[in-house]
Homo-oligomer: A and B are copies of this chain.
Amino acid sequence: MANPGSLLRSRSLRKTQVRTSILQLMMENKIAMSERELEKLLNNQCDRVTIYRTLHTFLEKGLVHKVLDGQGSTKYALCHHDCSAEGEHHHDHVHFRCTHCEETTCLEHVSIPHVNLPQGYQAAEVNLLFEGLCPKCRQ
């Protein structure tokens, strides 16, 4: 189940060069990536617009999620474990942005504790972002 082809098939998406490469990259590098970073990693062989559209498609199908790290461009990362397309999607995301190396990592094994919201608020999704120094940059 952990290869680009089967992931694409599981969402009824056509298996193309670009989609396969992007999934591959996201599976290797476990950090959140922006369109620009992907473009570079793909050696500019692939059109910018295609990458944007691919990311949108993946988002729609629940293969990736947006990562909010407060920097210029939007980043995306693979969804793990229980993710599935719209509806039963796993809606808790925890990320750590290193202010030194600027990398944003998904902290898969950290779970968000329950928080009591004020009366009337109904949350469907939760994002938790830490900022500081990652193990590599802390030395």
A-side residues, CB < 8 A to B, are: 66, 68-70, 74, 94, 96, 99, 107, 109-110, 112-113, 115-135, 138
How far apart are the CA atoms of A70 and B95 in the complex, in Å?
Answer: 14
Decide if B116 touches A125 in the complex (CB within 8 Å).
Answer: no
Given A70-B68, A133-B122, A117–B128 Cβ distance below 8 Å? Answer: no
Q: Which of B110, B119, B131 contacts A118 (CB 8 A)?
A: B110
Chain B minimum-CB-distance residue to A91: B131
Chain B residues closer than 8 Å to A130, beta-carbon distance: 117, 121, 123, 125-127
Q: How far is the CA of A121 from the CA of B130 in the complex (A)?
A: 9
Number of copies: 2
Contacts A99-B124, A110-B118, A113-B113 known; list 9 others, CB within 8 Å.
A68-B69, A70-B127, A107-B118, A118-B135, A122-B132, A125-B130, A126-B130, A126-B131, A129-B129
The answer to whether A110 and B120 touch (CB under 8 A), given A125-B132, A127-B128, A129-B126, is no
- When C-beta atoms are compared, the residue in chain B nearest to A94 turns out to be B115
10 pairs from A and B in contact (CB 8 Å cutoff): A68-B127, A107-B118, A107-B121, A109-B118, A110-B115, A120-B138, A121-B130, A121-B132, A123-B131, A125-B131
